[in-house]
């Protein structure tokens, strides 16, 4: 049996000491959108008690903002924390932080174009990370961003057998970022998925429609062999539909902010 190498991770979300750097104070509208994003993703069934969403700091690209370790549906403005890309918190002030903050930091480091990240365990997406013969592909015109097919990150290739499947350090974060490559989504075998975008609202949209597309794909496969979008169709639909994201965001935000 292969033993994990160079992988040590805490078993809980113990408080992590702040780096000592001063908070820069991200744009207030972005911070409010991050609160709303957490609530939308919970309301849409993408996040439950677990999962997280972040945005790259608007005043320093070497930082990102995410909430403290908590259920996303309960996030408020006061729960938001700044982090360095290495995962070190800046203003946690003794509050617990997510074990998997390295997903976010290493993707931001690897992909300068990425401005927001969503990590989830959305239930319809999960099966596509464990069945090699059935990759997640864009079936619906709302999910053209998936591209040809979503890659799958296999943690055993990095850390051997016996891990807890979580991305709990920089080494694993780097490996996940490389699996994502220049795409918009990467599945994580037995774990979930991570979606990225060049803005927060788009990342939320993509996380929601990755789940919707996965659900439709599971249903279609029960009927027969699906006809998926071609690469050209996926690109064309992505450019067209993602121009309409404010419509979806407005509806979802109104529902959670009543």
Per-residue pLDDT, 258: 83
Residue 165, domain member (yes or no): yes
Structural domain of 164? 28-247
Q: Are strands 185-188 and 152-153 parallel, antiparallel or unpaired?
A: parallel
Q: What is the pTM of this model?
A: 0.94
Average pLDDT (232-246) is 97
Segment 186-197, tens digit of pLDDT: 999 999 999 999
Residues of the chain with pLDDT > 70, as a percent, come to: 95
Query: How does the average pLDDT of the chain come out, rounded?
Result: 94
Residue 119, domain member (yes or no): yes
Q: Could you tell me which residues are beta bridge partners of residue 118? A: 53, 195
Q: Is the pLDDT of residue 7 over 50?
A: no
Q: Among this protein's residues, is 242 annotated catalytic?
A: no
Residue 4, domain member (yes or no): no
Per-residue pLDDT, 4: 37
Residue 108, domain member (yes or no): yes
Residue 85, domain member (yes or no): yes
Write the DSSP string, the chain. -PPP-S----SS--B----SPPP----HHHHHHHHHHHHHHHHTTS-SSS-EEEEE-SS-TTEEEEE-SS-GGG--GGGEEEEETTS-BSS-TT-B--TTHHHHHHHHHH-TT--EEEEE--TTTGGGGT-TTS-----SGGGGGG-S---EE-THHHH-SS--S---SHHHHHHHHHHHTTSSEEEETTTEEEEEESSHHHHHHHHHHHHHHHHHHHHHHHHS---PPPHHHHHHHHHHHGGGHHHHHHHHHHHH--
Lowest mean pLDDT among 15-24, 30-39, 136-145: 15-24
Total domains in the chain come to 1
Residue 17, domain member (yes or no): no
Per-residue pLDDT, 15: 84
Residue 20, domain member (yes or no): no
Question: In this structure, what CATH number is given to the domain that contains residue 240?
Answer: 3.40.225.10
Candidates 82, 100, 106, 242; catalytic one: 100
Residue 12, domain member (yes or no): no
Segment 86-124, tens digit of pLDDT: 999 999 999 999 999 999 999 999 999 999 999 999 999
């Amino acid at each position: 049996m292969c033993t994990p190498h160079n992988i040590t991770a805490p078993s809980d979300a113990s408080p992590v000491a702040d780096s000592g750097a001063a908070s820069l104070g991200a744009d207030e509208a972005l911070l409010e959108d991050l609160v709303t994003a957490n609530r939308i993703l919970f309301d849409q069934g993408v996040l439950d008690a677990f999962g997280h969403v972040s945005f790259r700091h608007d005043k320093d690209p070497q930082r990102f903002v995410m909430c403290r370790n908590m259920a996303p549906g309960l996030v408020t403005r006061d729960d938001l924390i700044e982090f360095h890309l290495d995962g070190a918190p800046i203003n946690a002030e003794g509050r617990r932080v997510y074990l998997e903050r390295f997903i976010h930091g290493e993707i931001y480091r690897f992909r300068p174009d990425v401005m927001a990240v969503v990590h989830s365990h959305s239930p319809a997406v999960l099966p596509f990370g464990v069945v090699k013969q059935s990759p997640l592909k864009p079936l619906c015109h709302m999910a053209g961003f998936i591209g040809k097919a979503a890659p799958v990150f296999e943690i055993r290739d990095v850390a051997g057998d016996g891990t807890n499947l979580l991305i709990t350090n920089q080494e694993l974060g780097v490996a996940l970022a490389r699996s994502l490559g220049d795409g918009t989504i990467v599945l994580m075998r037995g774990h979930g998925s991570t979606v990225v975008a060049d803005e927060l609202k788009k990342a939320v949209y993509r996380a929601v429609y990755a789940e919707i597309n996965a659900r439709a794909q599971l249903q279609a496969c029960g009927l027969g062999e699906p006809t998926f979008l071609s690469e050209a169709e996926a690109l064309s639909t992505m450019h067209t539909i993602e121009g309409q994201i404010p419509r979806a965001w407005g509806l979802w935000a109104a529902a959670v902010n009543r």
